[in-house]
C-alpha cells in the first residue's frame, strides 16, 4: 500500500468519528449513560428528564468533578431513591487501566482501554513543585512526523471529552488527589502532549479543558494547561479564545524545506502562516508565553545556524523554547544530538534572551517519554498484520 493510500484510509477513519459523541464506557452492551465528560448543562438536562430540580444537577456535578465520586451510592446529600434511580440509568465507571507502570524516577504511565477496545496512554510526571499530567487526545495520530512513535500508528479516532477527562480523573484517583486544598494537590498541570493532535479534535479538547478548569469542579488554573500542536493553524485561535490555555508549538525545524519533511503538516501550513497564527494567539504576553518545542535530532536540525535562525524566526513573540532530547524508539533511524551540541544550541538561544530549558527525559525506562507513546494493542495488531501480510 502506498503512503497516500494509507493516509486516505486513516483520514476516513478519523472523519467517521469526528462528531465525537460520548461512548459508553464499560462494554458495548452497556445501556446506561456514561456521565464522565458531561458538563453542567448536560447534567441538568439529565436530571430534568428524571423530574429533579436544578439544584440536584448542581449537586451531581459537584460529586462527580469536585469530590471525585465513583458511584452514586456515595452521594450522601441525595436521597437513597434518587441514588438508586441514577445507578439504574447512568454510570461513573472509569476506563480500564490495562497497564499501570511506575518508573524509577516516579513517572507513572497508564494504558487505558475504552469501550470500543481502543487504547491510549497517559503519563504523570512529578516534579519538585508541580505534577504534570500528559494526556492523549486521539488514539494514534493521522500526522506522520518522522521522529514520532505515535505517528507510525495506523488506528486513529478522536477521544471523546469524557475519555479525555477520564484520564485526569483516574490519575487523581490513583494519586488520592481529590478533596485536597489547591496548594496540596499532586496533579497541578496538564499538557496535551500525549498521543494525537489536539487540534484535530478541537471541540472535545475544549470541552475537556473547560471541565478541568471549572471553579465548581476540578478547578485547575487555565494557566496550567498547555495545548501542544504540530501547527494546525485554523484552530489555534479558537482553542485560545475558548479556553485561555497556554499554547505550545512543535516547531522542530526553522526552514520550510526541512519542516516539510519532519513535520509534514508544514506543507499545508508553512512557517509564515504558523508564525502569523501564533502572533495573534489570544492573551499572549510576557506572563503568558508560547512554548516552542524543538526536538534535538543529530545532524538534522541541531546546527549553530539552526539555533541562530530559530531566534530570528520568533523575534518579537513572547516565547519560551523547550529543547527536547530525541527519545529513541524501536525502528527509528534518528539519533539524539550529543550533549555538547545541545548545550551550544541552548547557549545561543539563551544569549538571545530566551529561557531554553533542556527537557529532562522522564520515564524512559517505561517508554513514557515524549514521542515514545504507542499503545500495546497497536503493537500487537501491527505484529499480527506483519504476519498476515
Ligand atoms: N501532536 C501534538 C502533541 C503530542 S506530541 C504535537 O505534535 O505537538 C508532544 C511533543 O513530543 C511534540 O513536541 C512532539 O514533536 C514531541 N516528540 C514526538 N516524538 C518525539 C521523540 N521521539 N522524542 C522527543 N520528542 C518527541
Ligand atoms: Fe502526531 Fe504530534 Fe507525533 Fe506529529 S509529533 S505524529 S502531530 S503526535
* Residues 93, 166: Cα–Cα separation, whole Å: 9
Q: Is 250 near ligand 1, meaning CB less than 6 Å away?
A: yes
Decide whether any atom of ligand 2 lies within 6 Å of the 153 Cβ. no
User: Which pLDDT value is given to residue 20?
Assistant: 34
| Residue 342 pLDDT greater than 50, yes or no | yes
The domain of 84 spans 3-91
- Indicate the number of domains in the chain: 2
| Burial (Cβ within 10 Å: 0-12, 13-18, ≥19) of residue 224 | middle
Angle at 152 between CA 9 and CA 117, to 5 degrees: 70
Sequence-ordered list of residues with C-beta below 8 angstroms from that of 178, at least 6 positions apart, any chain: 67, 68, 172
- The residue out of 43, 72, 91 marking a domain boundary is 91
Query: Which residue, of 32, 57, 91, is where some domain finishes?
Result: 91
Position 386 in a domain: no
Q: Whose CA is nearest to atom 7 of ligand 1?
A: 230
In whole angstroms, what is the distance from residue 94 CA to residue 25 CA?
7
| Interval 233-258 mean pLDDT | 98
Instruction: Examine the domain organization and report whether 160 and 62 are in the same domain.
Output: no
Single out the residue of 112, 110, 72 nearest to residue 88, CA to CA.
72
Return mean pLDDT, the chain.
88
Q: Is the CB of 253 under 6 A from ligand 2?
A: no
Active site residue ranges: 121, 370
> What pLDDT, on the 0 to 100 scale, is given for residue 12?
28
Asked whether residue 13 falls in the same domain as residue 125, the answer is no
Over the stretch 193-224, which tens digit does the pLDDT of each residue have?
999 999 999 999 999 999 999 999 999 999 99
pLDDT band at 373 (very low <50, low <70, confident <90, very high): low
Taking a C-beta distance cutoff of 8 angstroms, is the pair 236, 218 a contact?
Answer: no
The pLDDT of residue 363 is: 77
Residues 87 and 102 in one domain: no
193 CA to middle of ligand 1, Å?
Answer: 7
User: Same structural domain for residues 130 and 72?
Assistant: no
Residue bearing the CA closest to ligand 2, atom 8: 196
How far is residue 296's CA from residue 289's CA, in Å, rounded to a whole number? Answer: 21
- 144 and 41 in a single domain? The answer is no
Give the helix ranges, DSSP H, for 105-153: none
Q: What is the pLDDT of residues 58-76, one digit of tens each?
A: 999 999 999 999 999 999 9
Report yes or no on 346 lying in a domain: yes
Asked whether residue 192 is assigned to any structural domain, the reply reads yes
**With a 6 A CB cut-off, is 294 part of the ligand 1 pocket?**
no
CA 266, 272, 273, 277 dihedral sign is: positive
Q: In sequence order, what are the beta bridge partners of 288?
A: 285
Answer yes or no: do 226 and 257 share one domain: yes
In a domain, 231, yes or no: yes
Residue 384 forms part of a structural domain: no
**How many angstroms separate the alpha carbon of residue 81 from the centre of ligand 1?**
49
* Whether residue 266 sits in one domain with residue 206: yes
For residues 70 and 138, membership in a common domain is answered with no
Closest by CA to 155, choosing from 27, 17, 357, is 17
Is 252 found in the same domain as 265? Answer: yes
Q: Give the pLDDT score at 14.
A: 32
3-state helix/strand/coil string of 228-260: EECCCHHHHHHHHHHHCCEEEEECCCCCHHHHH
CA–CA gap between residue 42 and residue 103 (Å, rounded): 38
Quick: pLDDT tens for 7-58: 332 332 333 333 333 343 445 567 899 999 999 999 999 999 999 999 999 9
pTM of the entire structure? 0.89
Write down which residue in 91, 126, 157 finishes a domain: 91
Mean per-residue pLDDT, 126-140: 95
- Say yes or no: 312 and 228 in one domain: yes
Task: Say whether both 76 and 172 belong to one domain.
Answer: no
Residue 385 lies in a domain: no
Q: Does residue 239 lie within any of the structural domains?
A: yes
Cβ–Cβ < 8 Å for 73, 91: no
Nearest CA to ligand 1 atom 12: 250
CATH number for the domain harbouring residue 144: 3.20.20.70
Residue 80 has pLDDT above 90, yes or no: yes
% of the chain at pLDDT higher than 90: 77
> What CATH number has the domain bearing residue 7?
1.10.150.530
Query: Based on the domain organization, do 162 and 21 belong to the same domain?
Result: no
Residue 297 resides in a domain:
yes
Amino acid at each position: 500500500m502506498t503512503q497516500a493510500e494509507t493516509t486516505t484510509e486513516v483520514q476516513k477513519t478519523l472523519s467517521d468519528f469526528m462528531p465525537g459523541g460520548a461512548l459508553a464506557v464499560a462494554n458495548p452492551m452497556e445501556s446506561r449513560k456514561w456521565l464522565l465528560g458531561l458538563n453542567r448543562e448536560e447534567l441538568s438536562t439529565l436530571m430534568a428528564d428524571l423530574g429533579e430540580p436544578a439544584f440536584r444537577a448542581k449537586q451531581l456535578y459537584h460529586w462527580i468533578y469536585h469530590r471525585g465520586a465513583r458511584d452514586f451510592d456515595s452521594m450522601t446529600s441525595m436521597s437513597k431513591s434518587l441514588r438508586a434511580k441514577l445507578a439504574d440509568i447512568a454510570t461513573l465507571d472509569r476506563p480500564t487501566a490495562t497497564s499501570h507502570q511506575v518508573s524509577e524516577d516516579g513517572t507513572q504511565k497508564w494504558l487505558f482501554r475504552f469501550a470500543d477496545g481502543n487504547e491510549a496512554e497517559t503519563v504523570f510526571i512529578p516534579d519538585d513543585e508541580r505534577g504534570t499530567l500528559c494526556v492523549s487526545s486521539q488514539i494514534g495520530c493521522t500526522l506522520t512526523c518522522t521522529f514520532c512513535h505515535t505517528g507510525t500508528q495506523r488506528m486513529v479516532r478522536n477521544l471523546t471529552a469524557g475519555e479525555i477527562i477520564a484520564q485526569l480523573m483516574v490519575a487523581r484517583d490513583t494519586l488520592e488527589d481529590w478533596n485536597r486544598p489547591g496548594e496540596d494537590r499532586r496533579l497541578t498541570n496538564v499538557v496535551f502532549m500525549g498521543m494525537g493532535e489536539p487540534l484535530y479534535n478541537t471541540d472535545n479538547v475544549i470541552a475537556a479543558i473547560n471541565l478541568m478548569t471549572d471553579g465548581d469542579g476540578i478547578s485547575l488554573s487555565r494557566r496550567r494547561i498547555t495545548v501542544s500542536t504540530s501547527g494546525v493553524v485554523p484552530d489555534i485561535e479558537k482553542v485560545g479564545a475558548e479556553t485561555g490555555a497556554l499554547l505550545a508549538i512543535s516547531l522542530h525545524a526553522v526552514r520550510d524545506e526541512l519542516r516539510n519533511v519532519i513535520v509534514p503538516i508544514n506543507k499545508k501550513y508553512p512557517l509564515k502562516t504558523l508564525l502569523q497564527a501564533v502572533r495573534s494567539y489570544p492573551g499572549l504576553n510576557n506572563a503568558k508565553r508560547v512554548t516552542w518545542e524543538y526536538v534535538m535530532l543529530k545532524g538534522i536540525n541541531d546546527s549553530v545556524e539552526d539555533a541562530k535562525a530559530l531566534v530570528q524566526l520568533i523575534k518579537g513573540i513572547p516565547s519560551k523554547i523547550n529543547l527536547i532530547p530525541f527519545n529513541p524508539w524501536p525502528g527509528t533511524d534518528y539519533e539524539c544530538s550529543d550533549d555538547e551540541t545541545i548545550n551550544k544550541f541552548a547557549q545561543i538561544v539563551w544569549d538571545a534572551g530566551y529561557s531554553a530549558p533542556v527537557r529532562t527525559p522522564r520515564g524512559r525506562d517505561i517508554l513514557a517519554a515524549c514521542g515514545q507513546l504507542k499503545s500495546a494493542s497497536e503493537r500487537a495488531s501491527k505484529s499480527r498484520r506483519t504476519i498476515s501480510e
